[in-house]
Every structure is written in structure tokens, then in C-alpha cells.
Amino acid sequence: MDIAHSGTPSPLRRVGIGDGLFALALALAAGFALSQYGDFMDIYDKAILAAVVPALAAIGWAWKPFRGFLAAAAALAVLSISLYGGDLARAEQAFFLKYLISSQTAIMWMSALFFIATGAYWIGLAARSDFAEKTGSALTWSAVTMGTTGLLVRWYESYLIGTDVGHIPISNLYEVFVLFSLITGLLYLYYEGHYATRRMGAFVLLVISAAVAFLLWYTFSREAQEIQPLIPALQSYWMKVHVPANFIGYGAFALAAMIGVADLLVRKGILASRLPPAEVLDDVMYKAIAIGFAFFTIATILGALWAAEAWGTYWQWDPKETWAFIVWLNYAAWLHIRLTKGLRGPMLAWWAVIGLVVTAFAFVGVNMFLSGLHSYGSL
């Protein structure tokens, strides 16, 4: 009897052939990107690309379904790029581009799929229907796949406008709203798998739907979807690390707040028989805030490093910086109370919900109401 393996070992030990292939595929893809587009990258961009390979491989090892999702999104993006063949006008001529996998269309599909998924999860919750919840799950997976494809293709399209225009599509409010929806969706799917319950989807998908609704308004009323070139301050490799780290934070905080809402309802006895027990919700809320806080810390530090290079000072109390600091303080206090005092219950759930208001203000409100250096998307 081999006692060493009788327990559940750490996830990294569960590496199978699939994981090896996944890592290999990632490395090959990065190598291909390097050979194909290396001329557009500086040394830092290349280093980031290299670092992304082990990062994604690790996510794939710890969370198996991620591999399929990434493969699908990458395959769709490659298909789209090959259909373009270097000519932007093809978006109007090729059927698959126009109606499926050009960037705008893919993002529209993402929007629609998120909406339908929200409906499916709610039907599942109301009718206690396993089938509806599974449908919701599948739709959410499809939505994040389409959204990721959309962003990847948008990245390519920006270079077709002009090589001096091309940039990673996380540079303005429109693009980061897509990113926010994707990251929140993926985080949710991870917890759905980890806790083996689809009951939280109804709540988490609400906040994603709200983001998507904003995105659509922003598209149709403000024409915000048009790719814009980068102003000099944004032309930096720092954007590739600062922005995604930030949105893991925002996405996780948003998710925690929605779980907080569910938690409060369960504690009041509303939907208690349909939702996971408060203990589980509490745990998810903590995990989300912990990961959000960790990444938000990194993001803020990366932002400071970037600010030092672009604006000449790592911290100057610009409204966005200050609000990031307030968000950070808020969750720092939350974690202190929970971890040191061991406090549980409705108070922390309320706090997480209010935290979303603070986070939303830092994310969107600052752009709407305050002016400062960080004004990269106005309403």
C-alpha cells in the first residue's frame, strides 16, 4: 500500500498527458506569435508573452476545463484571422466574419449568450431544474469563449488599421468592460466547478448582465466600440500587466458582492432551499475577496511602477489612484475582520455588497464624475 498517495495531493501533482500537451501547445503558440508578430514587440512585451505560457499552463493544470475553453477561443481567433487575410474589408464580405467571429460580432454574441445564460440560471433556480442550470453553464462557457475570441480578433484588427495604431484591446472603458465580463464569468465558472454547485450562477450572472447592458448602451449610444489609437501615455508594455491584474480584482470583488447578496437572502430564509448553504456562500465570498485583494494589490503596485515611468511619480493622488487606494483599504479592513476576528455572518456579506459600490465608483464613477490623468473613457 502506498500511503504517500492515499490523500488528495496538491493539484500540481495531478498533471496528466493532457496538461503536458496543453503546456506544449501554449509554448508553440507563443513561439508562433513571436515569430509572426515579434517585430511589433519590444523586449518587455516578449518577456510578458513568455511569462504568460507558464501562467496559463498552471491555470490549466489546476482547472482542467480551462484548457478546452482556451483552445476553442484560440482556434476561433485563428480562424477569424485567416479569414481576414490582412484585409479589414473582409469583415463585411465573409459571412463567418460578418455574422460570427469578427470582433464586434463576437462581442455581440458574447453579450447575447450572457443574457440567455442569466435567464437559464434563473429558470434553473426557480424550477429547480438541473437541465436549465446545465444549459446556463454551457451558455456561460460559450459566452466567455466568444468574448475572448472577440478581444483577440480586435487585437489583430487594430493592427490592420495601421501598425502604429495596433495595441492590446484593454485600453479604454469599452474594452475593459468586455474584459470585466470575461474575467467575472471565468472566475464564476471556476467556483461553480470547485464547489460543484450551479446555484450561484443566477446571482453572479446578474452583475455580468449589468456590465453587458452597459456595454451595449455604450456601443449603440456612444459608438464607443470603434478602435482608437493610443495616446503616448498608454503606449507601454505595462498596460499588458496592469490592466488584467486590475480586472481580476474588480471581477472577483463583483462576484463576491453577488455571492454576498445570495448569502444575505439565505440567512433571511429567502430561496434558502434553492441556494447553497450560507456556509458555502461565505467560503466563496472569502475566496473571491482574497484572490481579488491579492491581484488588486499587484495591480495597484504595477500601476505605481507604470506611473513612475509615464508621469514621473509613482503616486500622486490622482482620483483614480486615490479610489484604488480606497478600494484596497476597504477590502483590507474586510480581510482583517474576517481573518483576525474570525467574524462571519451578515455583517461581512453586507460589507462585500457595499464594497461593490465602492469598487464600481473606482471603476466607472471616477471616469464619470471626477477628472484626472486616468480619463481613458468618458461617458
Partner 1 sequence: MRQRSFSRAFYELISSMRFAVSLLTVLGIASIIGTVLKQNEPYNNYLNQFGPYWFPIFEELGLYAVYNSAWFLVILAFLVLSTSACIVRQTRPMLKDMRSFREHAKEASLAAFQHHERLHTALPTDSASQKIQAYLAANGFQSRTGAREDGVLLAAKQGSWTRVGYFLAHSAIVLICIGGLLDGNLPLKIQMALGGKTTTSGNQLISDIKPESRLGLDNWSFRGNVFIPEGKSANVAILNVKDGILLQDLPFTVSLRKFHLEHYSTGMPKRFASDILITDKASGKSVEKTIEVNKPFEFDGIMMYQASFEDGGSRLHLVGHDLRTGGRAPFQTDATVGEAIKLKQDGLDYTLELGSFRPFNIENMANEEPAETSTVARLEKHLGSGARSVSKKDLRNVGPSFEYRLRDSSGQAREYQNYMLPIEQDGAWYMLAGMRETPAAPFRFMRIPMDQDGKPDSWFVIRGALLDKSRHAEIASRFTATALGAETDETVRGRLRETTRKTLELFAIGGFESLGKFIESTVPPAERDKAADVFIKILEGSAWEAWKLARSTAGLPAVELDQKNGRLLRDTLNATSDSLHYGAPVYFQLSSFEEVRATVLQVTRSPGKPVVYFGSLLLVLGVFAMLYIRERRLFVLIKHNGDALVALSANRKSMDVEEAFQRHRKAIAALLDPAATPPAQS
The footprint of partner 1 on residues 23-52 (CB under 8 A) is none
Which residues ranging from 253 to 282 are in contact with partner 1 (CB under 8 A)?
279-280
Which residues ranging from 125 to 154 are in contact with partner 1 (CB under 8 A)?
154
Which residues ranging from 154 to 193 are in contact with partner 1 (CB under 8 A)?
154, 157-158, 160-161, 164-165, 169
For residue 59, the minimal CB distance to partner 1 (Å) is: 15
Query: Other C-beta atoms within 10 Å of 66: how many?
Result: 18
Instruction: Name the residue with cell 482542467.
Output: 64
12 touching partner 1, by CB under 8 A: no
Whichever of 22 and 191 has its CB closer to partner 1, that residue is 191
d(CA 194, CA 255): 15
58 touching partner 1, by CB under 8 A: no
Stretch that binds partner 1, among 69-77, 103-111, 204-212, 252-260 (CB under 8 A): 103-111
For residue 253, the minimal CB distance to partner 1 (Å) is: 15
214 touching partner 1, by CB under 8 A: no
Whichever of 102 and 148 has its CB closer to partner 1, that residue is 102
Check: CB of residue 282 under 8 Å from CB of residue 263: yes
59 touching partner 1, by CB under 8 A: no
| The C-alpha cell that represents 107 in the structure block | 462581442
352 touching partner 1, by CB under 8 A: no
Instruction: Name the residue with cell 501562467.
Output: 55
Stretch that binds partner 1, among 203-211, 215-223, 248-256, 261-269 (CB under 8 A): 215-223
Could you please report the per-residue DSSP string of 298-352? Answer: HHHHHHHHHHHHHTS-S----HHHHHHHHHHHHHHHHHHHHHHS---SHHHHHHH
55 touching partner 1, by CB under 8 A: no
Exposed, middle or buried, 91 (CB in 10 Å: 0-12/13-18/19+)?
A: buried
Q: For the packed helices 201-222 and 130-161, what is the interaxial angle rounded to 10 degrees?
A: 30
97 touching partner 1, by CB under 8 A: yes
> What are the start-end ranges of the H helices in the chain?
17-37, 43-62, 65-84, 90-93, 95-96, 103-127, 130-161, 173-194, 201-222, 238-267, 278-310, 319-340, 346-360, 366-369
Whichever of 131 and 317 has its CB closer to partner 1, that residue is 317
d(CA 78, CA 17): 24
# residues contacting partner 1 (CB under 8 A): 81
With CB under 8 A as the contact rule, the residue among 17, 43, 85, 223 that binds partner 1 is 223
105 touching partner 1, by CB under 8 A: yes
Q: Identify which of 316, 330, 317, 315 has the alpha carbon closest to the alpha carbon of residue 361.
A: 330
For residue 129, the minimal CB distance to partner 1 (Å) is: 26
For residue 336, the minimal CB distance to partner 1 (Å) is: 6
For residue 324, the minimal CB distance to partner 1 (Å) is: 10
d(CA 315, CA 186): 31
Whichever of 103 and 140 has its CB closer to partner 1, that residue is 103
d(CA 51, CA 241): 11
With CB under 8 A as the contact rule, the residue among 50, 75, 226, 268 that binds partner 1 is 226
Binding string, residues 305-334; x marks residues near partner 1 by CB under 8 A: x--xxxxxxxx-x-x--xx-xx--xx-xx-
